[in-house]
Amino acid sequence: MRTCHDCSQTESTGKEGQDMAAAARVVIVGSGIIGASTALACQDLGAEVTILDQGPLGGLASANSFGWINASFAETQAYFELRQEAVEAFRTLGQRLELQAHVIWPGTLWWEDAGQDFEAQFASLTLRGYAALRLDRDEIAAREPNLRECPDHALFTPMEGAAQAQSVAQTLLAHVGKRGGRLCAEQAVHALRPSAGGGYIVQTSTGDLPCDFVILATGAAAHRGLTGLGWTLPMANKRGMIVQTKPVQTRIHHILMTPDVHFRQNPDGSLVAGEIFSGDLDRSGDVPALAETVIARIRQKLRGQPDVQLAEVKLGERPVPLDGLPVVGAVPGAPRIFMAVMHSGVTLGPLVGQLLAEEILHGRSSPLLSSFRPARFV
């Protein structure tokens, strides 16, 4: 893997502003799952890729994510279509890069809501043609023999999966690095300034980097903008908590979305649980106590109430654009600067990366992205 410690490259190569695809120089700011996916896709289309991150490679939200890959919840039809296509794109990428150590595809059992809300969710998925089955208690028990008590009904969405998103990002980056991409950790980008000919000079903490295109994949930091950008994305980030346990022998076979805890099992037996207290986690709350509550809820769910031990509590900032929907595409008023910022970035990363690379390097914009452009906030 080619990593750089000093990104300065002030010599102009004369390529700035040329209308090129094969040798376009693309700088991607942010190395989480969005930046990594986009870097891979740009490189696939022949671009010369540099990825810069102010911290270690692999991202921030991506390191603290539940990682559920799904299209089960989407406020609009356009968002559903994007998510559904994204689940497929993730599967395809997983096969191509052999991501099975970091991604599982067990499907989801969902019974977070009951009664009318449960029926409404089932009806909505069915109407959209999403693969969803309504299971009864016996069917659930047959699928999850280690659940102590099964609900009357659950929705089974068999196409869904879960990823250890930071590991996926790092694997993609390793691939990019092996093929000659530059991977630059601990290098903050402070500013962008236009260069002669229509490209940009990216000002980093270690020097200047000329390029043809800039892609901002800065996650929850997107609202801070950059000097020279002239525009910032309005955001309503939310804090979330993930609890990771030590490996447990008791096996669960699906992603389980229950009324009081969401959890799944990694290939090594460890459990990952998302706090169910959705929305913004109380920043002054008692995090260790909350983590213990989550552990107790998991234990309570499992046959024999095994000794589930806490390994790690992660607190992460969910990157959430102001209207809750993804933001992907050209930055208003800044030719050749693009951004990709979103929640559910684990689900969406591989697809968004591919669509953005196609748009930037081949000039083909996908109708799947038309509802999610940054310009809607101008």
Ligand X SMILES: Cc1cc2nc3c(=O)[nH]c(=O)nc-3n(C[C@H](O)[C@H](O)[C@H](O)COP(=O)(O)OP(=O)(O)OC[C@H]3O[C@@H](n4cnc5c(N)ncnc54)[C@H](O)[C@@H]3O)c2cc1C
CA angle 1, 66, 137 (to 5 degrees): 135
Q: Which of 213, 347, 354, 369 is close enough to bind ligand X by CB under 6 A?
A: 347
Rounded least distance, CB 312 to ligand X, Å: 13
Asked if 319 is part of the footprint of ligand X (rule: CB under 6 A), the reply reads yes
d(CA 61, CA 79): 21
- Of 227 and 305, CB closest to ligand X: 227
d(CA 362, CA 119): 44
Choose among 273, 272, 290: nearest CA to 281.
290
- Of 220 and 360, CB closest to ligand X: 220
- Of 34 and 74, CB closest to ligand X: 34
Which residues, at least 6 apart from 285, have a Cβ–Cβ distance to it below 8 Å?
none
DSSP state, 354? Answer: H
- Of 51 and 150, CB closest to ligand X: 51
Side chain identity at 342, as an amino acid letter?
M
Q: Which stretch binds ligand X (CB under 6 A): 18-26, 63-71, 102-110, 128-136?
A: 63-71
Q: Which of 41, 140, 176, 189 is close enough to bind ligand X by CB under 6 A?
A: 189
Rounded least distance, CB 128 to ligand X, Å: 18
- Of 259 and 306, CB closest to ligand X: 259
Q: Are 215 and 52 in contact (CB under 8 A)?
A: no
Q: Which of 9, 50, 65, 265 is close enough to bind ligand X by CB under 6 A?
A: 65
Residues 220-259 that bind ligand X (CB under 6 A): 220-221, 240, 242
Asked if 67 is part of the footprint of ligand X (rule: CB under 6 A), the reply reads yes
Q: Which stretch binds ligand X (CB under 6 A): 87-95, 243-251, 343-351, 357-365?
A: 343-351
Residues 126-185 that bind ligand X (CB under 6 A): 165
Q: Which of 64, 84, 121, 250 is close enough to bind ligand X by CB under 6 A?
A: 64
Choose among 211, 168, 165, 215: nearest CA to 30.
215
Structure tokens at 15: 């390529």
3-state helix, strand, coil in the chain (%, to 5): 30, 25, 45
Which residues, at least 6 apart from 19, have a Cβ–Cβ distance to it below 8 Å?
none
Binding mask 12-31 toward ligand X (x if CB under 6 A, else -) reads -----------------xxx
Asked if 313 is part of the footprint of ligand X (rule: CB under 6 A), the reply reads no
150: buried, middle or exposed (CB in 10 Å: 19+, 13-18, 0-12)? buried
Q: Which stretch binds ligand X (CB under 6 A): 118-126, 170-178, 303-311, 342-350?
A: 342-350
Structure tokens at 63: 């390191």
Q: To which residue do tokens 């750089």 refer?
A: 4
d(CA 112, CA 227): 44
| Residues pairing with 135 in the sheet | 154
Q: Which of 9, 16, 28, 32 is close enough to bind ligand X by CB under 6 A?
A: 32
- Of 150 and 346, CB closest to ligand X: 346
- Of 141 and 191, CB closest to ligand X: 191
What's the distance, CA 11 to chain centroid? 35
Q: Are 97 and 132 in contact (CB under 8 A)?
A: no
Q: Which stretch binds ligand X (CB under 6 A): 47-55, 121-129, 139-147, 331-339?
A: 47-55
Number of residues that bind ligand X (CB under 6 A): 40
In the complex, which residues of this chain contact ligand X (CB under 6 A)?
29-35, 52-55, 59-62, 64-68, 165, 188-189, 217-221, 240, 242, 274, 316, 318-319, 342-347
